């Protein structure tokens, strides 16, 4: 299991970051690796994000030193979305089948979580988010039919997209973690545009289904002082609470958004007009 740590940042300091520093602090360049668990522990909301890709063997999610816990979910909750082929997640000996683009919520207190692929030649790719939890809620499997679907944008503004809200309060009870999957329609490239901020929660974006030789330009920073970072397929980026989080790709793509903080209201955001961006 590979663990990387990221510190919180101040927007005044962020103004001075060059490309390398932005990538070092916010970009997560290696999410999926065969037969490995790659995790990033961010001090923003104590958010853990990462990838689990079992190929030739099952992979068990273990605790690590910084958590100071007996097991990973002793004081945490966990959200999982499978972007690969069908797999199995065992939660305290209870095996749950997870198909492509399905999700699983695992509540605080689950002691043993094991991931495996059904077919090693077509492995699963489990993207995970985890945040501190104050209460135990039941483990719940969310199929593609269980989520809340919203269609936003238009072809005219190149941001026609379908949002699948999978781990949100209208679908599953959580302490603070919220997750979903957004898919850009053919011909659209912009996500989360017009942009917004929300000081009440931080966010992580994980981009995938980016076609070969294509990239994503992710925009971040305060609206009046923006920066950008280029990302490839299956890479992620941490978005502080004070930052916008929007992207444009050289093709259509999908991404998983994960949020944590003190507010469950998905629409609770501070909108920014396009013409106000700098």
Residue 214: name the closest of 176, 243, 254, 181 by CA.
254
25, two tokens: 């602090």
Domains recognised in the chain with CATH numbers? 2-276 (2.60.120.10)
The string of pLDDT tens digits covering residues 160-215 is 999 999 999 999 999 999 999 999 999 999 999 889 998 888 999 999 999 999 99
The string of pLDDT tens digits covering residues 210-243 is 999 999 999 999 999 999 999 999 999 999 999 9
84, two tokens: 């690969």
Would the pLDDT of 144 be above 90?
no
The string of pLDDT tens digits covering residues 43-83 is 999 999 999 999 999 999 999 999 999 999 999 999 999 99
The whole-number pLDDT of residue 241 equals 93
The whole-number pLDDT of residue 263 equals 76
Output the pTM of the full model.
Answer: 0.96
Query: Under 8 Å CB-to-CB from 182, ≥6 apart: which residues?
Result: 161, 162, 163, 164, 191, 254, 255, 256, 257
What is the chain's length? 278
Average model confidence (pLDDT) across the chain: 95
Residue 116, Ramachandran bin (φ over 0: left; ψ between -120 and 50: alpha; else beta): beta
């Amino acid at each position: 299991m590979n663990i990387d740590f990221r510190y919180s940042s101040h927007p005044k300091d962020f103004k001075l970051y060059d490309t390398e520093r932005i990538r070092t602090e916010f970009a997560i360049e290696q999410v999926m690796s065969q037969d490995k668990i790659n995790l990033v522990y961010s001090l923003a909301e104590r958010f853990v994000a990462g990838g689990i890709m079992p190929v030739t063997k099952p992979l068990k999610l273990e605790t690590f030193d910084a958590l100071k816990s007996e097991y990973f979910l002793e004081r945490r909750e966990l959200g999982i979305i499978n972007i690969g082929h069908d797999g199995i997640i065992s939660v305290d000996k209870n095996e749950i089948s997870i198909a492509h683009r399905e999700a699983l919520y695992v509540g605080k207190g689950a002691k043993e979580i094991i991931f495996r692929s059904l077919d090693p030649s077509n492995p699963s790719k489990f993207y995970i988010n985890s945040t501190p939890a104050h209460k135990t809620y039941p483990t719940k499997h969310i199929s593609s039919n269980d989520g809340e679907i919203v269609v936003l944008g238009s072809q005219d503004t190149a941001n026609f997209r379908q949002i699948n809200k999978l781990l949100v309060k209208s679908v599953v009870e959580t302490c603070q973690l919220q997750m979903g999957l957004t898919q850009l329609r053919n011909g659209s490239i912009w996500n989360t545009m017009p942009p917004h901020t929300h000081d009440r929660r931080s966010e992580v974006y994980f981009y995938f289904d980016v076609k070969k030789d294509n990239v994503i330009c992710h925009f971040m920073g305060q609206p009046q002082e923006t920066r950008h970072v280029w990302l490839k397929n299956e890479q992620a980026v941490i978005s502080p609470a004070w930052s916008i989080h929007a992207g444009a790709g050289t093709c259509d793509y999908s991404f998983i958004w994960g949020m944590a903080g003190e507010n469950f209201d998905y629409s609770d955001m501070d909108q920014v007009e396009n013409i106000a961006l700098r």
